[in-house]
């Protein structure tokens, strides 16, 4: 496997720094990983997280459905017009609610099911396991900070807390995030922390599947900022702006 990954890793284009233009799409990466089904499966889990973020943005009206190009989910699933995959549908919980029950599962429950699924698949992949722990912990640390600021019970807003790192692991990044001038600057703080975490856990030069998981994780972040830059440009060019 390491020999096969050597060729895959050398074939993949190099990634720039945070904020640079991504050199390929997630779909193109998955196609390149076809000779290595396990690596393709692990990368798909990472790309699914981005699909779920897009789905959440579409459902909340933040972005038009026409602008979304999911990688793992279908367009209908992102638009909440079709049930999610079984492992995300909460099928056991919605039994007896009819065929559409899973399609309208609460956002937090979908994320809990996703992280539980990712944690199961992460057995044998230290990088994916570390990524799950970090992402769950960061998500919950942010939810807790927001809840406390509003005088709410933070425990009600946590997702799969048993899978994540403790809140104390994020003290520095939360401090920087809370001091950010605006939400976009805050997201930059969070994604910089994510980027650095991946770099520290990427198992560089091991030529293992973990290196490919790290590459996929960085690629998701680059594409997120590419979408943000495109949205900002479109807004600046729209009538009445400037």
Low-confidence winner among 86-90, 111-115, 223-227, 233-237 (lowest mean pLDDT)? 233-237
Query: Percent of the chain scored above 70 by pLDDT?
Result: 89
Looking at per-residue confidence, does 178 or 103 come out higher?
Answer: 178
pTM: 0.89
Q: Going along the chain, which residue ranges are E strands?
A: none
Q: What is residue 224's DSSP assignment?
A: H
Residue 115 CA to residue 80 CA, distance in Å, equals: 20
Looking at per-residue confidence, does 239 or 176 come out higher?
Answer: 176
User: What confidence tens digit (pLDDT) does each residue in 22-75 have?
Assistant: 999 999 999 999 999 999 999 999 999 999 999 999 999 988 888 889 999 999
Count CA atoms within 13 Å of residue 112 on its CB side.
13
Looking at per-residue confidence, does 28 or 238 come out higher?
Answer: 28
Residue 93 CA to residue 89 CA, distance in Å, equals: 9
CA distances from 3 to 42, 50, 122, 225 (A): 18, 29, 21, 33
How many CB atoms sit inside 10 A of residue 195's CB? 17
User: What confidence tens digit (pLDDT) does each residue in 184-202 have?
Assistant: 999 999 999 999 999 999 8
Task: Output the six-digit token pair for 112.
Answer: 């809990």
> What pLDDT, on a 0 to 100 scale, did the predictor assign at position 101?
39
* First and final C-alpha spacing in the chain: 53
């Amino acid at each position: 496997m390491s020999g096969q990954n050597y060729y895959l890793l050398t074939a993949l284009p190099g990634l720039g720094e945070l904020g640079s233009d991504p050199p390929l799409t997630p779909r193109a990466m998955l196609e390149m990983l076809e000779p290595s089904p396990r690596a393709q499966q692990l990368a798909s889990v990472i790309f699914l997280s981005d699909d779920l973020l897009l789905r959440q943005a579409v459902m909340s009206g933040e972005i038009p459905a026409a602008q979304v190009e999911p990688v793992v989910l279908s367009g209908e699933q992102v638009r909440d017009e079709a049930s999610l995959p079984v492992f995300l549908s909460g099928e056991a919980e919605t039994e007896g609610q009819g065929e559409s029950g899973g399609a309208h599962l609460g956002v937090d429950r979908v994320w809990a099911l996703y992280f539980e699924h990712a944690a199961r698949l992460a057995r044998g992949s230290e990088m994916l396991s570390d990524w799950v722990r970090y992402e769950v912990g960061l998500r919950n640390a942010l939810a807790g900070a927001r809840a406390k600021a509003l005088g709410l019970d933070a425990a009600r807003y946590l997702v799969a807390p048993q899978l994540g790192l403790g809140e104390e692991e994020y003290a520095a990044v939360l401090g920087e995030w809370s001091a950010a001038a605006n939400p976009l600057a805050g997201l930059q703080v969070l994604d910089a922390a994510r980027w650095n975490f991946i770099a520290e856990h990427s198992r560089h030069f091991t030529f293992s599947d973990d290196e490919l998981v790290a590459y996929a994780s960085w690629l998701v972040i680059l594409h997120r900022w590419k979408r943000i830059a495109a949205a900002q440009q479109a807004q600046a060019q729209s009538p009445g702006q400037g």
